[in-house]
Structure 1
Amino acid sequence: MTQKPDPHHIATALIHHAYAPPSAFEGIQPPVHKASTVLFPDVAAMRKRRWQDKSGYTYGLHGTPTSFLLEERIATLEGGTHCLLAPSGLAAISTTSLALLSQGEEVLLPDNVYGPNKALTLELLARYGVRHALYDPLDVQDLAGKITPATRLVWLEAPGSVTMEFPDLIAQARLCRERGVAAALDNTWGAGLAFAPFDLLGDGSLGVDISVHALTKYPSGGGDVLMGAITTRDAALHRRIQETHMHLGLGVAADDLEAVLRALPSMALRYQAQDVAARALAQWLQGQASVAQVLHPALAGAPGHGHWQALCGRQGEGLAAGLFSVVVDARFSSAQVDAFCDALTLFRLGYSWGGPLSLVMPYQLPAMRSRATPHLAHGTVVRFAVGLEDVRDLRADLQQAMDTVFCQ
């Protein structure tokens, strides 16, 4: 209904317009709230408002109905009770480490840790007096020997970055709990679907303390959003991370929130489809003469396969995401491997994963590891992220690239 003319001048009237649409509207997708400034009805209400427990709104950076909604849904996905969103997966990692570590304290990283997390530790945290040590992800005793009275945080990865070793996550989490050290898991691969990070045994008795998730990958699903999440079950730990998050001024854009909220309902279907396609390609590549080793946790003989089976395969075949690597036989040079990657037409060269487009990336592994890797065959590592294309077309693309480069 048209309102009576406003007596103010037009600029003022447009800003202070009296009309408000009726509130009784419900659609499939949640509304998107965009705000930096949040308005208060009076000073008393302003002074009572609290954003920390999601009971109110004070400033756009501290939460809107849209960001609170996504945080709650990610907490449900991960099996946690508290969640914070960050502008990227790396921002979520950085916030966690900065919140839990101080000068003179120590963080432990698996040798196959996500590269930017390692760089953050070696290049930034070290400047603030935080020490570190790298442990063998496949040897729980090595981790046990690295924990000292100064250790405050242990990063876990399941599986490891690029080389896909699957650790004994249950034993690692139990060790951290026994030693009183916080365990933070990069759960981007598991995505809250392959296993429950806060309930590793299925009876509620054991889990990690923090699950960090790059929502850039499977929750977004489109390859067009950068976002991360930090999920916990402990209120005091959440509050500590929340304070650091606030001091860093971290926030996420409303349009990005909308994109992830829109994609979440199809996430489980996409994850399973990409898992099935990746396994089919990984199994096929095991029979190719140019491939010395296939690194996929769900395949028998892969590094840590038994640990994957114990955690993810307790019921049925289990889930394993759409990511795997191969070691191209050492008789082929790194230049030939690069040429193979360039010869692919459906697999495109690019970082990240979890989107509809299949990706490929070659790696120079010696520069990425601090210790020997006897469990890996000699050769060049190539990682594949399988998208949503037909697996028959992807297999044909791999075949033509191998024929072009490795069969000459």
Structure 2
Amino acid sequence: MTKRGKSTELIHHDYQPPTGWGAVPVPVYKASTVLFPDTAALHRPRSREAVTYRYGLQCTPGSLTLAARIATLEQAQHCVLVPSGLAAITLTSMSLLKPGDEVLLPDNVYGQNRHVTTGLLSRLGIQHRFYDPLDAAAFEAMLSDRTRLVWLEAAGSITMEFPDVLGLLRACQARGVLTAMDNTWGAGMAFNAFELAPGLGVDVSMQALTKFASGGADVLMGAVCTRNADLHRRLDEMYEFLGYGVGQNDVEAVLRGLPSLALRYRAQEATALDLARWMQQQPAVARVLHPALPGSPGHEYWKAVSPAGSSCLFSAVFKPGYSARQVDAFVDALRCFGIGYSWAGPMSLAVPYDLSRSRSLPLPWTPQEGGTLVRFAIGLEDVEDLRADLAQALTLLG
């Protein structure tokens, strides 16, 4: 069959639940108890290779349909659904690490991944170190015999550095170290995490379906995808140990959002890039961080793997002469931007960040080059309305 676009694949998907269910909108299957046809079926051990319904926590026809479509989106063979993006991170690390192992994380890693690693994993005897995602040579020198997992984040969700992902992967591949990518920014649209270059890709890709896959700012869910059957078995086993499950109304909501994912991703991406370029021209702004902008940290690495995808996020670093209080007042004055975390919903968001509490290594700029950072997550509003809103709020800065 001729290769089809992602929007088409997400609407006209080949997967059908094995019991013969099927409809354009996937039915909602609410169940904890699943009835067996007889005691022989009750006593039959669960097969991890074949679909079996034993209890609502493990799967329903609806959750299997969603998992299959997310695997298609990520160009993977296997997918496990969990209750949140953070649960996807925790599942991945818990499945692939044991006491005495070491995990390496980029210094710009998502804050909750840092928290899980320095908290829970440390208590379990798993060691960690942070690396500069822009320096593959220094990273390679950090790899040790204890290193079992490396987290990648493309791009960093606050400071937007795009890592030297090809250099990092080559170093890991040479040492046989497993790699996991937080692919929430790319959402399966910006690049194929499993084939970033010929013969070069990650072992595991996770994303928060809370964001682009849902698109409604009303669902918490995560997904962990892989092409490796053995890794999938490890993930699936830990999934059962942790008692993870997803709500069926949430499954329905994400399935409803998937057909418009590609349209929303491109629309929000275009508006974000337009506004990021405009913000570069504003006198109060020292720099704008967006992987598609020349001069933004890691721009050349972004061009190498993702020249057609740049998501809906950018950050503005204000000139050091403006205090954090003044920048807060700018954010408070915005009318089309909500103040809140997450991204990829219909409403644009703005959040100021104190990076001193979330980084171990020096920032890509000095205090003389920039001060307070504000991250903007662009929604589905008209670009002219957002630009006018930014302009009126910037007048407060003089």
Coarse TM-score class (shorter-chain normalised): over 0.9
How do 1:2-401 and structure 2 match up within 5 A?
A: 27-48=23-44, 50=46, 52-201=48-197, 203=198, 205-313=199-307, 318-375=308-365, 377-401=369-393
1:17-75, Cα deviation, whole Å (9 max, x unpaired): xxxxxx99864211111111111111112233635234221111110100111001000
Distance in 2 (CA, whole Å) between partners of 1:374 and 1:27 is 51
Of all paired residues, the percent bearing the same amino acid is 56
Structure 1: 4+ residue segments shifted above 4 A: 23-26
Q: Which amino acid aligns with 2:349?
A: L
Contact 2:193 2:205 (8 Å CA) reproduced:
yes
Paired amino acid for 1:256: D
* 1:207-247 superposed Cα distances (whole Å, 9 cap, x missing partner): 10000110000000000000000000100011011111100
CA distance in 2: counterparts of 1:312 and 1:127, whole angstroms: 37
How large is the Cα RMSD of the aligned pairs?
A: 1.4
Mapped partners of 2:43, 2:124: distance in 1:
36
Say if 1:108 and 1:151, in contact at 8 Å, map to a contact too. yes
Q: How many residue pairs align between the two structures?
A: 378
Give the C-alpha shift of residue 338 in structure 1: 0.5
Q: Is the 8 A contact 2:297 2:364 kept in 1?
A: no
Where structure 2 has 5 or more consecutive residues not aligned to the other structure, the ranges are 1-18
Tell me, in whole angstroms, the C-alpha distance in 2 between the residues paired with 1:60 and 1:269. Answer: 33
State which drifts further: 367-376 or 66-75: 367-376
Distance 1:137 1:47 in 2: 50
2: distance between equivalents of 1:44 and 1:368?
54
Distance 2:205 2:116 in 1: 18
Shift of 1:104: 1.1
Looking at structure 1, the residues matched to 30 and 249 of structure 2 have their Cα atoms a distance apart, in angstroms, of: 8
Asked if structure 1 preserves the Cα contact closer than 8 Å seen for 2:101 and 2:127, the reply is yes
Shift of 1:133: 0.4
1:178 positional shift: 1.2
In structure 2, C-alpha distance between the alignment counterparts of 1:369 and 1:341, rounded to whole Å: 23
Q: Is the 8 A contact 1:51 1:57 kept in 2?
A: no
Of structures 1 and 2, the larger Rg is shown by 1
Q: CA deviation at 1:140?
A: 0.5
Residues 320 and 374 of structure 1, relative CA distance in 2, 3 Å threshold: closer
CA–CA distance in 2 between the matches of 1:25 and 1:228? 24
Partner SS, residue 57 of structure 2: helix
2:14 corresponding residue in structure 1 = none
- Calculate the TM-score normalised by the size of structure 2: 0.93
